[in-house]
Amino acid sequence: MRARPEPRNVRAGTTPKPVLAMSATVRHAQDIPVETVPAGTETSRQVLTGPGEGTGFYMRRFAIEPGGGMPRHRNRVEHQQFVLRGEAMVGIGDEVHQVRAGDVVHIPGGTAHWYRTEGTEPFEFLCVVPDSEDQIELLPGDDQLNL
């Protein structure tokens, strides 16, 4: 008889963490409120999944209209992003990247970053962050944005 393997998230000799009871949800993005991002220019956000909708991470959708952007700032938590539409210049630390639909972006926690749309269509991306407490700090030096 073969021994059952240990679950991957449990070290030998430890007790697994209890799984919280969560309800499955299916919603259309059209039914989720869109809110303005006060620090941004022509920037909005939808919280697609948040507290009570899973554990470990939250998913948000950002849209930045042509001519818009987000000033230089840093967050305590890391960001995992997938670009859905449009193009933008994204500053991460001391580097500037031109990103477009299909690109994947990782911004480590505590790293200064900013966004500026390029072209004539909105820049839209999904942003997945840990469900831990975040802290946002606006930073000087957004003269590179030219918003």
What is the span of the domain harbouring residue 100? 40-120
Count of domains observed in the chain: 1
Query: Which residues, 6+ apart, have CB-to-CB distance to 44 below 8 Å?
Result: 34, 35, 36, 37, 62, 63
Least confident of 9-13, 45-49, 117-121: 9-13
pTM, whole model, 2 decimals? 0.81
Mean pLDDT of 18-45: 87
Q: Which residue has the tokens 């305590």?
A: 76
51-96 pLDDT tens trace? 888 788 999 999 999 999 999 999 999 999 999 999 999 999 999 9
Residue 58 belongs to domain with CATH number? 2.60.120.10
Say if 113 falls within a structural domain. yes
pLDDT of 147 higher than 50:
no
**Number of helical (H) and strand (E) elements in the chain, helices listed first:** 0, 10
